A and B are shown apart, each in its own frame.
Chain A
Amino acid sequence: MAGPTPIPMPETALAISGLTVAYGSVPVVATVSARFPKGSMTAVMGPNGAGKSTLLKAALGLIPAVTGEVRAFGDPVARSMPRIAYVPQRAAVDWEFPARVIDVVQMGLYRRTGLFGRLTPGLRSEAMAQLDRLGMADFATRQIGALSGGQQQRVFLARALAQGADLVILDEPFAGVDAATEAAIISVLHGLRAEGRTIIAVHHDLSTVTAYFDRVLLMNRRAIAEGPTASTFRRAAVAEAYGHQLLTAIPA
Chain B
Amino acid sequence: MLDAVLNALILNAGYNAALVGLGAALLGLAAGCTGAFVTLRRRALTSDAMAHATLPGIAVAFLLMAAAGGDGRNLAGLMIGAGLSAVLGLAWLDSLSRTRLPEDAAIGATLASFYGAGIVLMTVIQNLALGRPAGLDSVLLGSTAGMLRGDAITLAIGAALTLGLLLLLRRPLIMTAFDPGHARLMGVNTDLTDRALLLLTLACVLLGLHVVGLILIVALLIIPALAARLWSDRMETVALLAGAIGAVAGYLGAALSVALPDLPTGPAIVLITFTAFALSALIAPRKGILAQTVARARLRRAAISGRR
Contacts A86-B182, A111-B186 known; A98 to B171 CB distance under 8 Å?
no
Interface contact tally, CB-CB below 8 A: 68
Task: Sort chain A's interface into a size bin.
Answer: 20 to 34
**What separation, in Å, do the CA atoms of A115 and B183 have in the docked complex?**
13
Q: Which of A62, A100, A110, A113 contacts B181 (CB 8 A)?
A: A62
0 or 1 for each of B202-239: is its CB under 8 Å from A? (1 = yes):
00000000000000000000000000010011110110
> When the two chains form their complex, are residues B171 and A110 in contact, meaning their CB atoms are under 8 A apart?
yes
> When the two chains form their complex, are residues B181 and A88 in contact, meaning their CB atoms are under 8 A apart?
yes
Contacts of B229 in A (CB 8 A): 98
> When the two chains form their complex, are residues A81 and B185 in contact, meaning their CB atoms are under 8 A apart?
yes
Contacts of A97 in B (CB 8 A): 40, 177-178, 235
Q: Which of A62, A82, A86, A99 contacts B187 (CB 8 A)?
A: A82
Give A105 Cβ to nearest chain B Cβ, in Å: 12
Q: Is A136 an interface residue (CB 8 A)?
A: no
Q: Is B175 an interface residue (CB 8 A)?
A: yes
Q: Is B11 an interface residue (CB 8 A)?
A: no
Q: Which of A57, A61, A110 contacts B175 (CB 8 A)?
A: A110
Contacts A88-B181, A88-B182, A111-B186 known; A103 to B171 CB distance under 8 Å?
no
- Specify the main secondary structure of chain A where it touches its partner: mixed
Q: Is B303 an interface residue (CB 8 A)?
A: no
The 3 closest A-B pairs by CB, nearest first: A143-B233, A110-B186, A93-B179
Task: Give residues in B with beta carbon < 8 Å to A.
Answer: 40, 168-169, 171-172, 174-175, 177-179, 181-188, 229, 232-235, 237-238
Could you give 21 example pairs across A and B, Cβ below 8 Å? A61-B184, A62-B185, A81-B187, A86-B181, A86-B182, A86-B185, A88-B181, A93-B178, A97-B40, A97-B178, A98-B229, A98-B233, A98-B237, A99-B234, A103-B234, A107-B174, A110-B183, A110-B186, A113-B171, A115-B169, A163-B186
Task: Give residues in A with beta carbon < 8 Å to B.
Answer: 57, 60-62, 81-82, 84-86, 88, 92-94, 97-100, 103-104, 107-108, 110-111, 113, 115, 143, 159, 163
